[in-house]
Amino acid sequence: MTGNLQLLDVLLTLLHLAIIGFNLFGWIWAPLRKAHFISILLTAASWLLLGYWYGLGYCPITDWQWRIKEQLGERGLPASFIKYFADKVSGENLDASLVDTLTTVFFAIAAALSVYVNFFRKRRG
């Protein structure tokens, strides 16, 4: 049972990292731009609309992963996966408000770039 939970935890970490990477850089490659815009909209909807009921910045994937981590014995988990992962990678206890601010800034930049490349950039051809 623990092995299954550990595997699910790893898979959710990989899913988180894939979504974060796609949200940051998916606008670059033209064939993925529409999918990127949809991903940005879904992320914003989760953070803001679901966040209205569950707390600003809510992510259902984080919610599921934290339930698994708690079953595996982890306690004191931060509100965000990005804070958790940044702490693990850096070996530090980074300031949560700084991580949240940087997350918001980079997300806003990626969202603006997605809007630009999807709706304002002149098509070549």
Count the Cβ atoms, other than its own, within 10 Å of residue 40: 23
Residue 61 lies in a domain: yes
Q: Over the stretch 10-34, which tens digit does the pLDDT of each residue have?
A: 999 999 999 999 999 999 999 999 9
Query: Which residue range(s) make up the domain with 51?
Result: 2-120
HSE-up (13 A, CA, CB side) for residue 59:
19
- Give me the pLDDT at residue 27, please: 97
Split into its structural domains, the chain has a count of 1
- Give me the pLDDT at residue 92, please: 98
Handedness of CA 82, 88, 94, 113 (dihedral sign): negative
- Give me the pLDDT at residue 1, please: 76
Residue 103 lies in a domain: yes
Residues in the chain where the model's pLDDT stays below 50: none
For the chain, the residue count is 125
Residue 89 lies in a domain: yes
Residue 125 lies in a domain: no
Q: How far is CA 1 from the centre of its chain?
A: 27
Residue 33 lies in a domain: yes
Is this model's pTM higher than 0.85 or not?
A: yes
